[in-house]
Amino acid sequence: MKKTGLLLLTALLMIAACTTKKTEQNPFLAEYNTPFDVPPFDRINPGHFVPALEEGMRQQVAEIDAIVNNTEAPTFENTVLPFEYSGKLLGDVGRVFYNMNSGNTSEEIQAIAREVAPKLSQHSDNISMNPLLYSKIKEVYKQKDILGLNAESMKLLEETYKGFVRNGADLDSVKQARLREINQQLSLLSLKFGENVLAETNVFELVVENPEDLAGLPASLVEVASQKAKEKGQEGKWVFTLHNPSVMPFLQYSENRELRKKMQQAYVLRGANNDERNNQENIRQMVNLRIERANLLGYPDHSSYILAENMAKDPKTVYDFLHRLWVPTMKVAKAEAIDLQKMLQKDIQGAMLEVWDWRYYTEKLRKEKYDLDEEQLRPFFKLENVRDGIFDLCDRLWGMKFVERTDIPKLHPDAISYEVTEADGSHIGILYMDFHPRASKRGGAWMSSYRDQMCATDGHMVHPVVILTCNFSPPTSEIPSLLTFDEVETFFHEFGHGLHGLLSNTTYQSLSGTSVPRDFVELPSQIMEHWAGSPEFLKLYAKHYQTGEVIPDEFIERMQAAAHFNQGFTTGEFIASAFLDMDYHTLDKPLVGDVITFEINAMNNVGLVKEIVPRHRSTYFQHIFSGGYSSGYYSYLWAAVLDADAFEAFRETSIFDKETAARYRHQILARGGTDDPMNLYVNFRGRKPSIEPLLKVRGLN
């Protein structure tokens, strides 16, 4: 241990000596001098990251040494607070780097990520397993009941102490050494997993040469595919990809069953093909290393280790919750499959419904039963109109204003930046939004930050800098970006996360914004989805992109009538992934054998309808293998109970009720992780949540 620490310190000192001369050239190591002190993206290049990260580690080592070497008796003020505020440079650089690796990566950035991952893991472990630092933290914790701390400071002390224990501070030196090895291996495996999924998504192209093979596809999708073909030097053809705005409408509308099969198979086999991008071994190693780490820390399995910090607390509670939803969901899904099979029989006598048929016949059945076609709705959901509608909602509820700023540096030219203010003009924070797919951006949608809200050591407010990254249907030379309603809900969802970060009002960074248990963090995002489809709000923002016509009442009525349509599939594929996540992470013995076989057995055990596959199959399940949601994918459904019940508070008054909105802001959004999440919820709602509103919303009651 001492030898390792000495080598690390020597290396850091050598790095510092080598990089001191470069300080003036490295924008991370100087004042930003940008509006609102946002990162100077226009001056950052990949070569800046390693020196800046290493300087950040060196500075934090010095800060930790100062705490450890303080000869005064440990107190909250001289131990816990300086630890909380340590590592500022490292955090600033790390947030920029990992946002770039997710949103605008390159081979050079990915190589840097692989280089720095073990260094950062070692640095983190050096701190969390520092016996002298831990002894001081522990000494303060023992005195917590006589320190007279306020509630937030008490929460900080408790979480700090618990963080050391959960990261191995109580282990002996042999176990700590093994834990370090595990953490480094996991950091690299996670990176590799994500890189493989991105590469698999980018490499596949379905090139259509015969116009007859475009039958059924929306004109907007065909135009995007034509534009993509031109970019690829294949003018006169059409190129479809595995990015969601391409693959999903293709599966919904293509009349060519063989091409649907080809697209579907390519999508669900990402990371499972027999090539260098196969993720099965990465999964096996991650699952087994997580078991070993949990055992080292005194837990029977990884899930028990993770859930101890969540609202659910233990695997049994999660399984019971999922099964309660699963039974009615599969009943509905089986009925849906029968209806779709009947439609297929009309087209192809004797054919059996397959995975690649479900979305296609669902759209046909939706049209038949409700006279509703998603393509009819898209013209009313121009991206800019949806954005302005969200801004209007925030103004109605909280008086928030969003002013576009063109003078602020940004990560990529596609991004748009806004200053966010209160009604009186006082500054809240900066919001970036990056909407469309590109090869350098991983799939999906997420919220992150470049700076978290907190109070600095001198007491002044540090305002947040938040980014929302999405992969929405892109515009073409002829048509603006027109969103599906699913994309509309995704926009509202991510904006809810953004509000959680922007409206945070805490003292400590580690408790601010989205720093809450995983199964509580989706409440602020998912409650926003309820506004997206509310009839009274649809009429305010859903306007035809050409005529300005407000979405007709008949369309809204059809949307409402179809609200429960296909919920067996939608909820079923989601719960299936949640079961898969839990099954991997409740293993208490090493995973052996084929990963795909494990997945098939897991789905057979719960009785998943054969025509449905999990929303995320194992080999591209980034949430749990490259995204921080291991043993946490259930949390979207757990939070759905909270958000359905919470939105009832608005319905009981008005969905624009300012008093309810103020209570929600102050009791949920502003509080971050400063209290137990159930306390926060009860403070807002006046009682614990009920599952009945969720069953009602999804038509499962």
Domain of 251? 204-268
Which among 84, 419, 494, 522 is annotated as catalytic? 494
pLDDT at 6: 32
- Secondary structure of 1-63 in HEC code, one letter for each residue: CHHHHHHHHHHHHHHHHHHHHHCCCCHHHCCCCCHHHCCCHHHCCHHHHHHHHHHHHHHHHHH
Looking at the fold, whether 449 and 501 belong to one and the same domain comes out as: yes
Looking at the fold, whether 555 and 679 belong to one and the same domain comes out as: yes
Looking at the fold, whether 26 and 161 belong to one and the same domain comes out as: yes
Quick one: average pLDDT of 317-337? Answer: 96
Residue 182 lies in a domain: no
Residue 471 maps to which CATH number? 1.10.1370.40
Could you confirm whether 494 is annotated as catalytic?
yes
Looking at the fold, whether 86 and 166 belong to one and the same domain comes out as: yes
- Which of 11-15, 428-432, 502-506 bottoms out in mean pLDDT, i.e. has the lowest? 11-15
Is 321's pLDDT higher than 60?
Answer: yes
CA-to-CA separations, 358 to 200, 251, 482, in angstroms, rounded:
23, 8, 24
Q: How many domains does the chain have?
A: 4
- Containing 240, the helix (H) or strand (E) segment is strand 238-240
Is 108's pLDDT higher than 50?
Answer: yes
pLDDT tens-digit map of 363-376:
999 999 999 988 99
Looking at the fold, whether 405 and 522 belong to one and the same domain comes out as: yes
Q: Nearest Cα to 129, choosing from 290, 10, 4?
A: 4
427-434 and 465-469 strand pairing: parallel
Residue 191 lies in a domain: no
Looking at the fold, whether 7 and 137 belong to one and the same domain comes out as: yes
Q: Which of 589, 606, 625 is the last residue of a domain?
A: 625
Q: Which of 603, 625, 647 is the last residue of a domain?
A: 625
pLDDT tens-digit map of 262-304:
999 999 999 999 899 999 999 999 999 999 999 999 999 999 9
CA 577 to CA 551: how far, in whole Å?
A: 35
Is 344's pLDDT higher than 50?
Answer: yes
Looking at the fold, whether 580 and 549 belong to one and the same domain comes out as: no
Residue 301 lies in a domain: no
CA 160 to CA 138: how far, in whole Å?
A: 9
pLDDT at 690: 85
Is 15's pLDDT higher than 70?
Answer: no
Residue 275 lies in a domain: no
Looking at the fold, whether 227 and 344 belong to one and the same domain comes out as: no
Instruction: Specify the pTM.
Output: 0.94
Q: How confident is the model at residue 8 (pLDDT cuts 50, 70, 90)?
A: very low
pLDDT at 24: 57
Q: How confident is the model at residue 696 (pLDDT cuts 50, 70, 90)?
A: confident
Residue 332 lies in a domain: yes
* Per-chain mean pLDDT for the chain: 95
Residue 31 lies in a domain: yes
pLDDT at 5: 39
Quick one: average pLDDT of 235-242? Answer: 97
Looking at the fold, whether 545 and 671 belong to one and the same domain comes out as: yes
Q: How confident is the model at residue 4 (pLDDT cuts 50, 70, 90)?
A: very low
Is 19's pLDDT higher than 80?
Answer: no
CA 467 to CA 586: how far, in whole Å?
A: 34
CA 535 to CA 652: how far, in whole Å?
A: 16
pLDDT tens-digit map of 452-487:
999 999 999 999 999 999 999 999 988 999 999 999
9 DSSP β-pair partners: none
Is 314's pLDDT higher than 90?
Answer: yes
Q: How confident is the model at residue 503 (pLDDT cuts 50, 70, 90)?
A: very high
Residue 455 lies in a domain: yes
Residue 596 lies in a domain: yes
Looking at the fold, whether 157 and 83 belong to one and the same domain comes out as: yes
Looking at the fold, whether 109 and 242 belong to one and the same domain comes out as: no
Looking at the fold, whether 370 and 383 belong to one and the same domain comes out as: no
Q: Which of 594, 625, 656 is the last residue of a domain?
A: 625
